[in-house]
């Protein structure tokens, strides 16, 4: 073979190799872009079409509470109260059903993928089933990053800060506090569970027990320690009906769980027993 032909052949081989390499790299890049685009589209679809996700974190928590009331499962309540961030990642009924509905039906993300693959057909080998590989970021992970980013808990009742961003400016706060009994807190030097909510205690003349026999007025709670100092608890005597129902419905389980009693200052008001499951669900619907 002449020297000229060798050069031409080598050049053709180099171009072919480069083209193959480019296509491989381009396909991988397109795959990554497609996965990311699909994940975002599914998350947007879920947030647009499913009530639990189309509001703020407070609205999401309302839907979780409705689910808890309907199931009447004390163990799930415990997980919600003590580890809301763990509970959120395991709300399988809402997340799985929402994600599956978007995938199975002709949702925006599915239509987008079909159109994308059809337009590439003949140019690159990019089969539709390639897109069934696991996403780097799951749709529900994106949703929870958008809805749930500050996980600081009220030092009294463990209600989670309703600010959406971690490192947000100002104090932590919540819309509704829980009766402290739901986390097992008891009156100083007794086994009597506290049925009061944090916002009613800071409006009262009650005193907060610190180490030893030291006490301060609840209204001065910020002086307790640096954790309390970062919380804004507005005086308010109202409590959600669902927590009153919870305390009455799971009274024996709560007493056993925390080795406490609803006695003395922790006696449950008789009127709390009047709240029915149906009434609680109706109240939650109004939030």
Torsion on CA atoms 253, 255, 256, 260, rounded to nearest 10? 170
Compute the distance between CA of residue 131 and CA of residue 124 in angstroms, rounded to an integer. Answer: 14
Considering the domain boundaries, does residue 106 fall inside one? yes
Q: Which domain holds residue 122?
A: 3-53+83-147
Residues 186 and 143 both lie in one domain: no
Compute the distance between CA of residue 210 and CA of residue 223 in angstroms, rounded to an integer. Answer: 10
Considering the domain boundaries, does residue 96 fall inside one? yes
Tell me which of 3 and 153 has the higher pLDDT: 153
Say if residue 220's pLDDT is above 50: yes
pLDDT given for residue 63 in this prediction: 84
Considering the domain boundaries, does residue 168 fall inside one? no
Considering the domain boundaries, does residue 63 fall inside one? no
Q: What's the total number of domains in the chain? A: 2
Residues 210 and 127 both lie in one domain: no
Residues 142 and 201 both lie in one domain: no
Considering the domain boundaries, does residue 73 fall inside one? no
Q: Whole-model pTM? A: 0.66
pLDDT digits (tens, 9 = 90+) for 83-139: 765 665 555 444 454 445 445 555 555 544 554 455 545 434 445 555 555 556 666
Residues 100 and 230 both lie in one domain: no
DSSP letter string over 1-36? --HHHHHHHHHHHHHHHHHHHHHHHHHHHHHHHHHH
Residues 21 and 114 both lie in one domain: yes
Tell me which of 63 and 191 has the higher pLDDT: 191
DSSP 175: S
Residues 95 and 139 both lie in one domain: yes
Structural domain ending residue among the three candidates 98, 126, 147 = 147
Beta bridge partners of 208: 216
């Amino acid at each position: 073979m002449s020297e000229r032909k060798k050069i031409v052949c080598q050049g053709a081989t180099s171009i072919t190799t480069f083209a193959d390499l480019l296509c491989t790299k381009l396909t991988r890049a397109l795959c990554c872009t497609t996965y990311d685009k699909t994940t975002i589209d599914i998350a947007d679809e879920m947030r647009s079409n499913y009530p639990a996700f189309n509001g703020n974190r407070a609205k999401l928590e309302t839907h979780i509470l409705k689910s808890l009331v309907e199931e009447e499962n004390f163990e799930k309540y415990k997980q919600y109260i003590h580890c809301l961030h763990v509970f959120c990642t395991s709300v399988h009924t809402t997340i799985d059903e929402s994600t599956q509905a978007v995938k199975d039906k002709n949702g925006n993300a599915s239509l987008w993928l079909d159109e994308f693959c059809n337009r590439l057909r003949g140019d690159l080998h990019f089969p539709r089933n390639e897109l069934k590989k696991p996403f780097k970021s799951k749709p529900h992970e994106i949703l929870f990053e958008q809805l749930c980013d500050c996980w600081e808990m009220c030092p009294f009742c463990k209600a989670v800060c309703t600010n959406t961003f971690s490192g947000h400016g100002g104090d932590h706060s919540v819309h509704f506090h829980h009766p402290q009994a739901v986390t097992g807190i008891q009156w100083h030097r007794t086994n009597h569970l506290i049925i009061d909510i944090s916002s009613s205690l800071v409006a009262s003349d009650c005193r907060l027990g610190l180490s030893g026999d030291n006490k301060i007025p609840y209204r001065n709670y910020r002086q307790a320690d640096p954790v309390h100092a970062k919380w804004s608890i507005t005086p308010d005597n109202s409590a959600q009906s669902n927590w009153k129902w919870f305390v009455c419905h799971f009274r024996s389980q709560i007493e056993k769980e925390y080795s406490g009693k609803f006695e003395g200052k922790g006696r449950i008001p008789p009127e709390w027993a009047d709240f029915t499951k149906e009434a609680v669900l109706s109240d939650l619907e109004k939030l």
